[in-house]
């Protein structure tokens, strides 16, 4: 009886040499003669088919197991359709009170509806005030440094001291102010 070799058998040096001596390159084997090949092909085919089915199942996003929102902890979440990203962005950019919110609803019920001064108006007023302060400071500085003054008495008899130049001429500002106190 001839020895049958299996794929898991260890081939010794003697057997390998004997095969070499008998090798005939003109001889061709049939694939069907390979021991256990049909079973291996069937096993591989089944495995491949199972993988294809599993991949299809994994890619199926249509809830193939009919899982409910309660089963995944979303039982208290309302089923409402969400706005698209574009609709949401358009709503965000809509600045003319699309929900008709009142000032009372946002805690501004006691605030008068008056127009506020523009930034430019406020800045112009600041410059005006600063200019007047600078001029007043300059006059006060001249008064303290130069000591050029001219006495004056008003109709009610009150005496005042006015700033004068070195020739005794009174320096008059182009605005009026009064000291209180």
Report the pLDDT averaged over residues 11-35: 76
Q: Which pLDDT value is given to residue 130?
A: 93
Q: Which pLDDT value is given to residue 177?
A: 47
Q: Which pLDDT value is given to residue 25?
A: 72
Report the pLDDT averaged over residues 24-37: 73
Residue with tokens 């294809």, as numbered in its chain: 52
> What is residue 47's three-state secondary structure?
helix
| Whole-number Å distance between alpha carbons of 150 and 168 | 7
Higher pLDDT, 24 or 69: 69
Do 163 and 142 meet the contact criterion of CB atoms below 8 Å apart? yes
Residue with tokens 């081939």, as numbered in its chain: 11
User: What Å distances lie between residue 13 and 10, 18, 22, 134, 168, CA to CA?
Assistant: 10, 9, 14, 113, 135
Which of the residue ranges 21-35, 49-63, 75-89, 163-177 has the most confident prediction, judged by mean pLDDT?
A: 75-89
Look at residue 2 and tell me whether its pLDDT is greater than 70.
no
Where do the H-state alpha helices sit in the chain?
13-22, 37-59, 85-93, 119-146
Which of the residue ranges 49-63, 124-138, 163-177 has the most confident prediction, judged by mean pLDDT?
A: 124-138
Report the pLDDT averaged over residues 116-145: 84
User: What Å distances lie between residue 113 and 51, 102, 103, 146, 156, CA to CA?
Assistant: 70, 12, 10, 52, 47
Q: Which pLDDT value is given to residue 128?
A: 93
């Amino acid at each position: 009886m001839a020895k049958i070799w299996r794929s898991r058998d260890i081939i010794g040096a003697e057997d390998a040499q004997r095969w070499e001596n008998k090798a005939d390159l003109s001889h061709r084997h049939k694939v069907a003669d390979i021991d256990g090949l049909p079973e291996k092909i069937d096993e591989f085919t089944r495995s491949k088919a199972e993988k294809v089915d599993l991949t299809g199942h994994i890619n199926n996003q249509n809830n193939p197991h009919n899982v409910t929102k309660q089963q995944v902890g979303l039982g208290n979440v309302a089923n409402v359709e969400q706005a698209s990203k574009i609709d949401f962005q358009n709503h965000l950019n809509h600045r003319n009170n699309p929900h008709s919110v009142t000032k009372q609803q946002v805690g501004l019920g006691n605030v008068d509806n008056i127009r506020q001064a523009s930034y430019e108006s406020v800045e112009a007023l600041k410059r005006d005030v600063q200019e007047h302060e600078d001029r007043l400071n300059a006059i006060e500085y001249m008064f303290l440094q130069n000591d050029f003054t001219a006495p004056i008495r008003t109709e009610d008899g009150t005496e005042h001291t006015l700033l004068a130049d070195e020739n005794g001429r009174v320096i008059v500002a182009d605005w009026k102010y009064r000291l209180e106190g």
